[in-house]
A and B are shown apart, each in its own frame.
Chain A
Amino acid sequence: MSKRQLAMVMDLNKCIGCQTCTVACKTQWTNRNGREYMYWNNVETHPGYGYPRNWMEAGGGFDESGNLRDGIIPDMVLDYGVPWDYNHDELINGSLFQAKTDSLEWGPNWDEDVGGGEYPNSYFFYIPRICNHCSNPGCLAACPREAIFKREQDGIVLVDLERCQGYRYCIAGCPYKKIYFNPKISKSEKCIFCFPRVEKGLPPACAHQCVGRIRFVGFLDDEAGQVYKLVHKYKVALPLRPDFGTQPNVYYVPPLFEPPKFDENMQPVEGSRRTPIEYLELLFGKEVHTALETLRKEQEKRARGEESELMDILIAYSHRDMFRLDNNYYQQQVDKKLKGSEFFKVIDQRYLQGANTKRVEIKDYTFHEKMLPQKDSSKAKHH
């Protein structure tokens, strides 16, 4: 549909579930204006219900013949979950500590770290999820007003808020439930792949902030890019639930590394896997076998001290290589103009000052230097 396609790869082996991406996204886009309940980026524990609750069972996407499937619209309280407060203010009067809500049944990230399996062989891993900016988007297909479009230049899927009438069929149509209803404006909204940042050569906030450096961003047709290499060259990055038929453009390096199983005597069983391969197959399709095999082989290669481009990519040495937007346009600009710490230099003081803050005039910026003992410049010259 689009001429080019931006994509993201997330290496699940390195995700620690810290939610830094979630916070980066929330503070940038969804902490206001009716978006408060939305997490355009969330990190959920697998196996688990996910966010919104049971999204994998909520319909949408396409059937095997390519026809849109019916779906449902999750409930704000029961499925997305809303935060609640505790009665901290009443504790001083001797009240018992309790939540200030009538029903504590579900909340965002409710089943964090629960996972599957029995102690000592329990297991889980994290999946961060954003909009997949699919090549055949279910949301776009469902909209009776064609208010959703896919950008020609990079395949980012956006909602035209002028056309959107808040009918919410897009939510039923998206199998990932990554488009949300904003009840304040009665329109649908979704992850925009931080397009205003991307256009300036910056990666999406979630990718840039990721402390585990698990996210790679680039164009799928940029053969020199790491995204291309992970997806097409090594084929270790796989789309989530490819059976939903929307051709997602967020790819995941499936979890390979995990502790082995323990036997009855609490001895580790060599070569054992805790996470059932069937579960990984459900999430990433049959290709997960070859992807895991490739990862294992390349890891062994690197362990023997041999070269492995794949492992070097996954180590994620530098943002410069991880984020390739518009054929490195962004990095070229940085190289030309900003070196080292200059990158962090504030160029527009107004934002630090505050638009409504009264300017305090400090005429002499060197007053503190005058308080220090004066250097003897003549001595220095002699040495």
Chain B
Amino acid sequence: MKLKLFTLGLVGCVSLSFADGFEEDVINVKKTQKFNPSALEFKKVKVYPQTSVSLNDKNTKDAQIPELEVGSVTTGKELYVVVKWKDYTHSVQPLFTTNRYGDGISIQFPLSYGKGKTLPYIGMGNEKNLVVVYLKKNVENRDYVKSFISEGFGSLTETSYKDFSLSLDYDKEKKEYTAVLKKAIKPTDLKTGIIPVSFAVWDGDNGNRDGVKNISNWKFLKVEGVNPDKGYISYLSWGYGKIGNPERGRELLIQNGCIGCHNFADQKNAPEGLAPNLSRIGGYNNPVYLKESIVNPSAVVIRNLNINRHYDKSQAPDKNGAYPNNEMYSWYTKDNKGKKTSKMPPYNYLAEQDLNDMVEYLKSLR
């Protein structure tokens, strides 16, 4: 039975073709007996400064890292992901300073993926869709390699995974980093044929750490010889290629009142932090997520970076002089069972073309 499935898979693979533009986000994974760097087929991966939430250090700047090169192979038991990028400043967090930071990389995978699964939120997952994050930072005197499970901003929880390694080497001549992630992988993982993955890089010289980083959208590792589920592919590849008129989409975003809460491009009237800033939203989100977040914002409820950043001075302070938090800045409401509902109303009544035009415009924000 197993053999039969495998054969079918091979046959399917030959005939598989992706929707327009989706191919760009697919990284082919060759099967090799053991890790063989020459078998790597590198693909350019664009990364963009994370601007959905802003942090409060005046001295941080955007990283000058526009793109990465990513290649991957598998031995059937291990998955190797190799990431290369140019960084003209080699930064290591020193032992005797307070305000210097190291370069770093993280690679994240959804905890579960494949047929019927939805993609986790790009910002380290969400409550329904957890992610596994592998992190390596340049820190003096320490091998700073960690793995985490996460369900969104602020939820990064360190794990004791031992089944992976992540190295980071800097070539001073080429001014280039090479990171190699080796992680154990189960045959069932490979069977899905397509493994979502995304990347983040930090440029220590520009004060990058935490949310100040350049990130990619979800990319897809396509395993050689395995035919992924068609339904899953059509879910992932929704909205690639040209699906609408971006100028009209921009007008629709303004007309529908999105600018009351969200800032993007030249629209900067909403109070900072009231809702995610959309300035580069198309750079690090896949079209299917952009659509979903308009139609059903509560499908993925993102936590505020920290609700205590805003307090309500129109309220009376408590006996110790503390003002309550300004609920206006909370991105969701919580019922007594703890269920979170996004404060953004669902725009599920939009005509299909209107929606496509809006997504087309959001895709261009990068």
Contacts and interface: CB of A to CB of B under 8 A. Distances in A.
Interface of A: 1-2, 5, 37, 59-60, 62, 64-77, 80, 82, 135-136, 140-146, 155, 165-169, 171-173, 180-181, 183-184, 186, 220-221, 247, 249
B309 A67 contact: yes
Contact of B211 (A2, A77, A82, A144): A144
B42 to A, nearest CB: 31
B5 to A, nearest CB: 43
Interface stretch (B32-40, B320-328, B355-363): B320-328
B56 A66 contact: no
A1 B318 CA distance: 8
Contacts of A65: 313
B17 interface: no
B57 A67 contact: no
B59 interface: yes
Nearest to A135: B322
Nearest to A75: B99
Interface stretch (B89-97, B112-120, B190-198): B89-97
B162 interface: no
B98 A169 contact: no
Contacts, number: 126
Given A5-B320, A186-B93, A144 B305 contact: yes
Interface residues of B, number: 41
B55 interface: yes
Interface string B238-261: 000000000000000000000000
Contacts of B272: 67
B308 interface: yes
B176 interface: no
A66 B94 contact: no
A183 B94 contact: yes
20 contacts: A65-B313, A66-B313, A67-B272, A68-B56, A71-B58, A72-B58, A76-B96, A76-B98, A136-B321, A144-B210, A145-B156, A167-B210, A168-B98, A168-B99, A169-B56, A171-B98, A183-B95, A184-B95, A186-B144, A247-B320
Interface of B: 53, 55-59, 93-99, 139, 142, 144, 153-154, 156, 209-211, 271-273, 305-306, 308-313, 317-323, 326
Contact of B97 (A69, A72, A75, A145): A75
Nearest to B209: A167
Given A68-B310, A165-B210, 11 more contacts: A37-B98, A60-B56, A67-B310, A68-B309, A70-B56, A76-B97, A76-B98, A142-B56, A146-B306, A167-B210, A247-B322
B209 A220 contact: no
Given A73-B99, A76-B99, A135 B57 contact: no
Residue from the set A66, A75, A167 with the largest chain B CB neighbour count within 10 Å:
A66
Contact of B59 (A68, A72, A135, A183): A72
Residue from the set A64, A145, A181 with the largest chain B CB neighbour count within 10 Å:
A145
